[in-house]
Amino acid sequence: MPMTTNDTEERIIREARRLFIERGFENTSMSDIAQAAGINRPALHYYFRTKEKMFSAVFSDIIASVVPKIEYILTKDRPIGERIGEIVDEYLETFKEYPYLPAFILGEANRDISHLEVTVKDMGMPEYFVRIRESLQAEMAAGRLRTVPIYDVLFAFYGLMLFPVLSRNMVNAVFVTEDLSYSDILSQWKPYIVSQMEHLLLP
């Protein structure tokens, strides 16, 4: 059966994502992507005229699938611990599918934060971030959550959430055994994330 336009585009995005994550944006060329996808450069340019457009297409589906869910969960009328638990589950599912995504994003942020900012802005993500911040601040103002700087909330949550993912190779080497998998370790870590965030946020 011949490949359709959608099949080709999906293959291009899949291979571009793999190369971007493995090598970074700067060290991945359009020729690399075309070769990995099994097409020539003119064919690649038919779908994506620039590497920046390719980058946006590659990660928009990932980020756009996660951020709206985080906003939806966080604005539910439920105890903060339950909401944080759900958010942790969403991130763990994403990192299971894309285990090196956090390291890639941090690497790109350190390499060229302005490029990452433009990509996120073009995807319409800032409005979600604003609503998430405003939702937390409203709960703080109402006394349902302790008043702490939003950056403290983010530092605490993402420090707890991302370190085990960023240090995956070390965790595997030091702690994983026949009886204890990496997934087991993350599952056991989840309650500690929730309890630490409750300690920070509950009045």
Q: Give per-residue pLDDT as tens, 26-35.
A: 889 999 999 9
Q: Give per-residue pLDDT as tens, 62-102.
A: 787 788 899 999 999 999 999 999 999 999 999 988 888 88
Q: How confident is the model at residue 2 (pLDDT cuts 50, 70, 90)?
A: very low
Rounded to whole angstroms, the Cα distance separating 169 from 90 reads 22
Delineate the domains of the chain, giving CATH numbers in brackets: 1-49 (1.10.10.60), 52-201 (1.10.357)
Rounded to whole angstroms, the Cα distance separating 91 from 87 reads 6
pLDDT value for 108:
83
Q: Give per-residue pLDDT as tens, 101-117.
A: 888 888 888 888 888 88
- 191 near 184, Cβ under 8 Å? no
Which pTM was predicted? 0.83
